[in-house]
């Protein structure tokens, strides 16, 4: 059994599927939302009230449901395991309103995320440690135009896992808990407003920047 940590549903209990999941502990969830909220404060924005969240490999849904409890506008949950989805649906009914979440029953590693209608504020990627599909997932999210300049990406992986992050993506925080690594990412040049996804793996941005370097005739890359 897991508990919601904060927000309107604080202390609400979440069921945990019996098999095929590795629940994110309260300590790790505290760390994850500390990364999200510290970045939010730096940007002087409200990431929750206007935010669309994505919980990949959702399992019990604890990360997305924590976001909903803290005021997130909407959350998409992706989960493929039939034996897990029933628990996820039950937990969503406890925490969510009828119109602020969607469960997508699909293999994430093969998804192009056509079910998502809005650019994302926060993305949680927490696959089984036996998988490491991070590059492919980020590639497809970029291709679908779902990652913006202020999007925060949280990756939970095994400490020893090597990840080749896309060009221009920067680690903003990294924390370790035993064998687990939690990394927060965003785009390195956050003052640009438009990301050109046509190059996919390169993820270079269009030259619409108005900073002093660009207006002075130099490209800030």
- Note the pLDDT tens digit of each residue in 71-100: 999 999 999 998 899 999 999 999 999 899
Q: How far apart are the first and last CA of the chain?
A: 47
Q: Which of 108, 100, 17, 8 is nearest to 53 (CA)?
A: 100
Percent of the chain scoring above 90 in pLDDT: 54
- Within-domain flag for 103: yes
Mean pLDDT of 110-139: 90
Q: Which domain holds residue 161?
A: 2-215
pLDDT at 100: 95
**Higher local confidence (pLDDT), 90 or 199:** 90
Q: ∠ at Cα 162 (33, 165), nearest 5°?
A: 65
Domain count, the chain: 1
Across the range 166-188, mean pLDDT stands at 88
- Evaluate whether residue 221 is within a structural domain: no
Whether 220 is covered by a domain: the verdict is no
The encoded tokens of residue 75 equal 């959350």
Q: What is the mean pLDDT of the chain?
A: 83
Name the 3-class secondary structure at 209: coil
The CA distance from 67 to 75, in Å, is 8
Per-residue model confidence (pLDDT) at position 87:
95
Q: What is the pLDDT of residue 98?
A: 84
Q: 142 phi and psi, to 5 degrees?
A: -65, -45
**Is the distance from CB of 61 to CB of 88 less than 8 angstroms?**
yes
Q: Which pTM was predicted? A: 0.83
On whether residue 104 sits in a domain, the answer given is yes
Q: How confident is the model at residue 220, as a pLDDT?
A: 45
What CATH number should be reported for the domain holding residue 148?
A: 3.40.50.150
Average pLDDT in the 162-172 region? 82
Q: Which of 35-39, 64-68, 140-144, 213-217 has the lowest mean pLDDT?
A: 213-217
Question: Nearest 5 degrees, angle CA 52-CA 54-CA 55?
Answer: 145
Q: Model confidence at 188, in pLDDT bands (50, 70, 90)? A: low
**For 9-51, how does the pLDDT look when each residue is reduced to its tens digit (9 = 90+)?**
999 999 998 876 788 899 999 999 999 998 777 666 788 998 9
Using N-to-C axis directions, what is the helix angle for 62-69 and 26-43, rounded to 10°?
50
């Amino acid at each position: 059994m897991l508990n919601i940590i904060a927000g309107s549903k604080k202390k609400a209990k979440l069921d945990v599927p019996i098999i095929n999941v590795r629940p994110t502990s309260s300590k790790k969830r505290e760390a994850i939302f500390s990364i999200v909220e510290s970045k939010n404060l730096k940007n002087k924005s409200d990431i929750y009230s206007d935010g669309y969240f994505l919980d990949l490999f959702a399992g019990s849904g604890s990360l997305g449901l924590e976001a909903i409890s803290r005021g997130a506008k909407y959350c998409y949950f992706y989960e493929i395991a039939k034996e897990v989805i029933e628990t996820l649906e039950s937990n969503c009914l406890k925490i969510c309103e009828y119109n602020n979440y969607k469960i997508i029953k699909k293999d994430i590693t093969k998804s192009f995320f056509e079910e998502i209608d809005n650019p994302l504020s926060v993305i949680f990627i927490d696959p089984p440690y036996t998988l490491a599909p991070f590059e492919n997932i980020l590639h497809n999210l970029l291709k679908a135009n779902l990652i913006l300049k202020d999007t925060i990406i949280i990756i939970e992986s095994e400490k020893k896992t090597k990840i080749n992050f896309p060009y221009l993506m920067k680690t903003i925080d990294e924390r370790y808990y035993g064998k687990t690594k939690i990394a927060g990412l965003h785009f390195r040049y956050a003052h640009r407003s438009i990301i050109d996804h046509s190059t996919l793996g390169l993820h270079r941005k269009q030259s619409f920047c108005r900073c002093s370097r660009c207006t002075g005739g130099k490209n800030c890359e």
